A and B are shown apart, each in its own frame.
Chain A
């Protein structure tokens, strides 16, 4: 729940983030196309997806990114903001799959290159499917509210 706000000063790294598990039904994949306006046929047409060498339709990059952001901000709170994300699409999440997100905060930094300084936490997230296959490794940085000194 993004209710309790983390205090940057109180975070000890490394720390494991709560695991997030999400069942990706056909409806969710179709919702994905509708919400992002990404009507590339691999995201809604199983025949097309199969012609590409995929078993069926799959979620797009924006959905995987949104899932990674959710893993990070469920933990860091609604007052945090994703300021950087790097992800590799190593495998796809198909309709019918279960998407599992496991995050680990690995570093915290006070970025003094900007004024006022930014309070940052670097997080590594692995998005896997129900078979344990790594589909999407993610490196992400969240900015937390300025801490009271």
Chain B
């Protein structure tokens, strides 16, 4: 697996000790760019002028609008970097648990301000909760809830994202 998805392993008790921990701020490797805005809009087949029409978007938002749905993508490191990996992965991957893999379960996000081309985002992540062991159709594991606060360079909060992920070991349902 790509090393950016390497998981920390431990017990549920280990994970509980991490609840409430907030990460150091992480800054996006690159600024919000028209190319990535349009690559994402093309992938979704979204003709929204805010993503494609620079004159319209400039007048309306101050630049091409970052698709709200691409929020988490700005803080994912590129698939390769010349200086190697930054030492710190996203907090959700550093939660010590037994599960060997994960899948996303729920997401809730607010966007107080538009994010536009040229913004360089910084995120602070916090571990909100880890559920007791649960069994689902996929296997046995724990639900891990995190909150991410995204700021642009002037410090304005542009998004607050709450994500719940199921960290599990695959197995047949009981």
Which of A's residues lie within 8 Å of B, judged by CB?
1-3, 22, 28, 31-32, 34-42, 48, 51-53, 60-63, 65-70, 73-74, 78-79, 81-89, 92
Bound form: Cα–Cα A69–B68 in Å:
8
Which of A31, A41, A62 has the most chain B CB within a 10 Å cutoff? Answer: A62
Whole-angstrom CA separation of A2 from B51 in the bound complex: 11
Number of interface residues of B (CB under 8 A): 49
B1-55 residues with Cβ-Cβ distance < 8 A to A are: 1-2, 4-5, 36, 39-40, 42-50, 53
Count: A-B pairs, CB below 8 Å? 137
Contacts of B49 in A (CB 8 A): 2-3, 78
Contact A78 B56 (CB under 8 A): yes
CA A56 to CA B172, docked complex, whole Å: 17
Secondary structure at the B interface, as helix, strand, loop or mixed, is mixed
Chain A residue nearest to B136 in the complex (CB): A53
User: Which residues of chain B (56-76) have a CB below 8 Å from chain A?
Assistant: 56, 60-61, 65, 67-73, 76
Q: Please give the residue numbers on chain B whose beta carbons come within 8 Å of chain A beta carbons, in ascending order.
A: 1-2, 4-5, 36, 39-40, 42-50, 53, 56, 60-61, 65, 67-73, 76-79, 101, 103-112, 114, 137-139, 163, 170
CA separation between A46 and B9, bound complex, in Å? 25
Q: How far is the CA of A146 from the CA of B111 in the complex (A)?
A: 17
Q: How far is the CA of A36 from the CA of B4 in the complex (A)?
A: 14
- With CB as the reference atom, state the residue of chain A lying closest to B40: A35
Looking at A1, A31, A53, A70, the one whose CB has the most chain B CB atoms below 10 A away is A53
Given known contacts A65-B69, A66-B67, is B43 in contact with A52 (CB within 8 Å)?
no
Structural contact, A70 and B45, CB atoms closer than 8 A? yes
Q: Could you say which of B4, B50, B72, B78 contacts A62, with CB atoms under 8 Å apart? A: B72
B112 proximity list for chain A (CB < 8 A): 83
